[in-house]
Amino acid sequence: MAVRIDFSRCDGCRQAKESACVYICPGNLFYPAENNLVKIRDIRDCWDCAACVKICPKEALELYLPVQLGGKGATITARTRGKGISWECASPSGKKEKFKIQVKN
Amino acid sequence: MPSDIDIVYLETDILIVGGGAAGCMAAITVKDMAPGCQVLIMEKAQLERSGCLAAGINAINAYLNPGETPESFLDYVKKEAHGIIQDELVLSMAKELNEMTRLLEHWGLPIYKDKDGNYLARGKRSIRIKGERIKPIIAAQVKKRGIPVLNRVVATNYLIQDGRVMGAMGFSVREKKFYAIRAKATICATAGAAGIYGPNNPGWGRHRTWYPPFNTGSGLAMGLRAGAEMTSFEMRFIALRVKDTLAPTGTVAQGVKVSHVNGLGEKYLEQYRGLTTAGRLKAGLIEEEAGRGPCFLDTTQLTSEEGNRLKEAYLHMCPSMVLSWANQGIEPNEAPLELTGSEPYLVGGHAMAGYWIDEQRRTTLPGLYAAGEVAGGVPKKYVTGSMAEGRIAALTALADLKNLSDWVGREQSRGFASKETNRALVTEENRNFPGMVDNELKRIFQPLNRKFSKRQGIGPEELEEALQKVMDEYAGGIKDNYKLAEAKLKVVAMRLVELEKLEEQLVAKDLHELMACHEVAERILIARILVEHLRYRKESRWPGYQERLDYPDTSARWELFVNSVYSEGANKIQIVTRSLKGELLDGGTN
């Protein structure tokens, strides 16, 4: 239900055979589009698993909540490096919270 | 027949349909126990992040902490299933739970520990983990063993010969390819079914479900069409979750006491003793109906450190919950969490809908085994239990194959090689199952090739909405507080038959929609079977999950399994009952 692509960062993984988000999405929701970009088929079909957010090499994807579920502009981004993941949650007020967690031994 | 489809024939010893926790463990077991045995996984998505574990999890909920035994686990499960349990099925899984946990840790899963190095218990049967990456960790073990995986290939039907399952067929959602995979043994390890009922949130929030919306029960539908006996569809699973985000509630109770309170601030659970999971859901519904809703999890007593820990735990599994607090501009201890029941799901991992299996995880169809969410009669298996079942199914398949090949070898040496039941294993002429493959090829791609005017063609989304609407309105959906009665069930049974006829008008504009067409058709079939199960059990066995307005009491007469067998040719559903020992009782047709 809600992931957003930042097209100023997304390059469609042009060096790779397949864009990372197209490769990983469990719902098959991304597809390659013109100009080395990717598109989302129907944003309403997203489960919020964040698999794409975690795998994107350009950190071009973010999670948000639709208005219906209380969304007012907060976003979550993630960066996977080695055995860890760094989360950043930005509130509508501009407050930023970071979580760095080791997720593999 | 469509001419632009690339037809791929493959052969393997053991085919695994579905690459979640159960399927991966089955494949790993085959490779570790019999390195020479060929195994292949058919996966609808991408193994690295597919199935229930795609987002990650923050606890292992089937682990025997010190003091717990397989027998005490059985006692717990029996209580949770309100007595409808075959002991040996649960025990065989329970014995493997800790070994599966040990394996996960060995593969790199971080588990929280106390200062003495013991796992940090979250409850008697639960430990806390940093499980955001659990699925990639499991998938890496499959990759390490060189096990081939067909990613983005949707399974649609089994290959069957002389009553024996001989593999499966399916199609790619990425290229116009049809697969017919011939196997000596097939293990079904696909998911349960979401999306049979309408989701909690409409429109933009429709997929903020607890159970993955991509789990559509295809393995159940394949089994039904092949005539496998199914069990306990009427024990639906309805999760008690955080409203809107559908975030899990168990996460909150991490060694801290968090009360359930009603809209008046009263601790409504305290009047009950020893409630089951279904009972806790029901208790909240009682409060709602008495005008004392909504109910909450009172997080206001958490310290800020506990609040932070809670955010971290949710990031492992359900980041939407953290987003929810950020949107409100509050910390977890600044407001209680409102609770809700989820849409009803059909799952064998929490509840027990699925294939009727024996202790070795054989289904009623020769050559077919089941593990995980689709294996019926074994609730509370969660991740480790699903893995345990994957292992058991793989070991059984290996043992059966060995016996079978010994047998075939023996028969051949005695000149009986053409014996009818084993011909498929030893002769060449039938290797590609010509009739079956042609029919399936035509059936699968039909929605892509149909030429309808806009008025006559129906998209999969439209049919899905129709299915969810009638199930919600007549088969105990959220709006009815999940309650059931024959008069309404009879209506929905007819409506579903009408919807089934509309499948002939389904149109798909691309391969993704083609997948959606098959998913909705599969869910309509599953819904039909579910409704017959709900009609047959004339008592209220699991209030919350299954409660009849016309039969409000629990009756000793109904201490039995309600099972079903579907006949595709006649399009008929036969209900049969079995004792708690698994013996066939009387059969009845609805």
In chain B, % of residues over pLDDT 90: 88
**A82 close contact with B: CB closer than 8 A:** no
**Mean pLDDT, to the nearest integer, of B30-42?**
95
**Mean pLDDT, to the nearest integer, of B538-563?**
97
Say what the pLDDT of residue B234 is.
Answer: 98
**Mean pLDDT, to the nearest integer, of B234-239?**
98
Lowest mean pLDDT among A13-22, B11-20, B397-406, B543-552: B397-406
**Angle (CA) B226 B567 B526, round 5°:** 75
For residue range B49-81, list pLDDT tens digits in order: 999 999 999 999 999 999 999 999 999 999 999
**Angle (CA) A61 A63 A65, round 5°:** 150
Q: What is the C-alpha separation between B542 and B534, in angstroms, rounded? A: 12
Mean pLDDT, all residues of chain B: 93
Q: Are B355 and B188 in contact (CB under 8 A)?
A: yes
**What secondary structure letter does DSSP report for B198?**
P
Helix or strand run (H / E) with residue B398? helix B382-413
CA nearest B158: which of B232, B231, B228?
A: B228
Q: What is the pTM of this model?
A: 0.95
**A84 close contact with B: CB closer than 8 A:** no
Q: What is the C-alpha separation between B16 and B20, in angstroms, rounded? A: 10
Mutant choice from A69, A98, A101 vs B, greatest count of B C-beta within 10 A:
A69
The phi-psi region of residue A48 (left if phi > 0; otherwise alpha if psi is between -120 and 50; otherwise beta) is left
Q: What is the C-alpha separation between B344 and B472, in angstroms, rounded? A: 9
3-state secondary structure labels for all residues of B82-97 = CCCCCHHHHHHHHCCH
- Mark yes or no for CB contact A93/B329 under 8 Å: yes
Q: Are B313 and B251 in contact (CB under 8 A)?
A: yes
Number of domains forming the structure of chain A: 1
**B195 close contact with A: CB closer than 8 A:** no
Helix or strand run (H / E) with residue B412? helix B382-413
Q: Is the pLDDT of residue B405 over 90?
A: no
For residue range B298-355, list pLDDT tens digits in order: 999 999 999 999 999 999 999 999 999 999 999 999 999 999 999 999 999 999 999 9
B484 phi/psi in degrees, rounded to 5: -125, 155
Say what the pLDDT of residue A20 is.
Answer: 97
Q: What is the C-alpha separation between B236 and B238, in angstroms, rounded? A: 6
CATH number for the domain harbouring residue A57: 3.30.70.20
With CA atoms as reference, the chain B residue closest to A32 would be B174
**A28 close contact with B: CB closer than 8 A:** yes
- Chain CA centroid to CA B29, Å: 21
Of B46, B204, B323, the CB nearest to A23: B46
**B176 close contact with A: CB closer than 8 A:** no
Q: Is the pLDDT of residue B451 over 70?
A: yes
CA distance A85 to chain B (A): 9
- Whether this model's ipTM surpasses 0.90 comes out as yes
Q: Which residues of A touch B316 (CB under 8 A)?
A: 101, 103
Domains belonging to chain B, first-starting first, are 6-191+347-432 (3.50.50.60), 240-341 (3.90.700.10)
B454 — pLDDT class (breaks 50, 70, 90)? low
Count contacts between A and B (CB, < 8 Å). 153
Measured CA distances, A33 to A26, A53, B430 (Å): 19, 19, 43
Say what the pLDDT of residue B412 is.
Answer: 43
Q: Are strands B177-188 and B337-341 parallel, antiparallel or unpaired?
A: unpaired
Q: Is the pLDDT of residue B266 over 80?
A: yes
Sheet architecture: strand order including B121-123: B57-60, B126-131, B121-123
Q: Is the pLDDT of residue B422 over 50?
A: no
**Mean pLDDT, to the nearest integer, of B561-572?**
97
Q: What is the C-alpha separation between B378 and B575, in angstroms, rounded? A: 20
Residue B144: partners with Cβ closer than 8 Å, 6 or more residues away: none
Its sign, for the CA torsion B536, B73, B347, B318, is positive
Q: What is the C-alpha separation between B450 and B453, in angstroms, rounded? A: 10
For residue range B366-404, list pLDDT tens digits in order: 999 999 999 999 999 999 999 999 999 999 999 999 876
Sheet architecture: strand order including B561-567: B354-355, B229-231, B561-567, B572-578, B584-589
For residue range B496-515, list pLDDT tens digits in order: 999 999 999 999 999 999 99
CA distance B316 to chain A (A): 9
Its sign, for the CA torsion B420, B422, B427, B433, is positive
Measured CA distances, A3 to A46, A78, B3, B516 (Å): 7, 12, 38, 21
Question: What is the extent of the structural domain holding A93?
Answer: 2-102
Q: Is the pLDDT of residue B430 over 50?
A: no
Say how many Å lie between the first and final Cα of chain A, rounded.
32
A1 — pLDDT class (breaks 50, 70, 90)? low
Helix or strand run (H / E) with residue B399? helix B382-413
Q: Are B186 and B369 in contact (CB under 8 A)?
A: yes
Say what the pLDDT of residue B428 is.
Answer: 43
Say what the pLDDT of residue B463 is.
Answer: 98
**Mean pLDDT, to the nearest integer, of B273-292?**
96
- Mark yes or no for CB contact A69/B324 under 8 Å: yes
Say what the pLDDT of residue B435 is.
Answer: 84
CA nearest B372: which of B10, B14, B25?
A: B25
Q: What count of other Cβ atoms lies within 10 Å of the Cβ of residue A16?
A: 11
CA distance A32 to chain B (A): 11
CA nearest B39: which of B286, B365, B300, B401?
A: B401
**Mean pLDDT, to the nearest integer, of B93-117?**
97
Both structure tokens of A45: 């079909």
Q: Are B524 and B563 in contact (CB under 8 A)?
A: no
**What secondary structure letter does DSSP report for B263?**
T
Say what the pLDDT of residue B456 is.
Answer: 82
